[in-house]
Amino acid sequence: MIVLDTNFLLYCVKYKTIDRVLEMNEKIIIPEPVFNELKKISAERGVRGEDAGTAFQIILKFKKEGKVFLKKTEAKYADDSVLEVAKKSKAVAGTLDAGLIRRLKKERIKVLKIRNRKGFIVD
């Protein structure tokens, strides 16, 4: 299982690797606060808003196909929800947020990182 964070999804859209992430042979979980944050960002003008809108639409498509699952959390904030879901599910967390990575590592949760804008590694 892989739990994805907002910044990870935005980066993947920006570098056109989001389909590769969502097509991995892993269950992809998007915490509801992350999903809601993407929806909010998609209303913004500019490239970031467009990327968020694209990520949002791709998630909806893969959700209908049963490849992505939204997860309710007790946490209200996206970063906290990623940590909560990853910890409870013993899943890998996909994020680029240095602060969140430190928190995940402290809990001994593996992190999916982007390598060379095209590949992925688990650390």
The pLDDT of residue 117: 64
Residues in the chain: 123
Total of domains in the chain: 1
User: Percent of the chain, pLDDT > 70?
Assistant: 98
Alpha carbon distances (Å) from 50 to 2, 46, 55, 120: 24, 6, 9, 23
Put simply, whether the predicted model's pTM sits higher than 0.85 gets the answer yes
The pLDDT of residue 15: 84
Range in 27-36, 76-85, 91-100, 108-117 the model is least confident about = 108-117
The pLDDT of residue 118: 64
- For 45, counting Cβ atoms within 10 Å of its Cβ (0-12 exposed, 13-18 middle, 19+ buried), the class is exposed
- Residue 24 tokens, joined: 């991995």
Domain span including residue 107 = 2-122
Q: What is the CATH number of the domain that holds 107?
A: 3.40.50.1010
Mean pLDDT of 56-67: 90
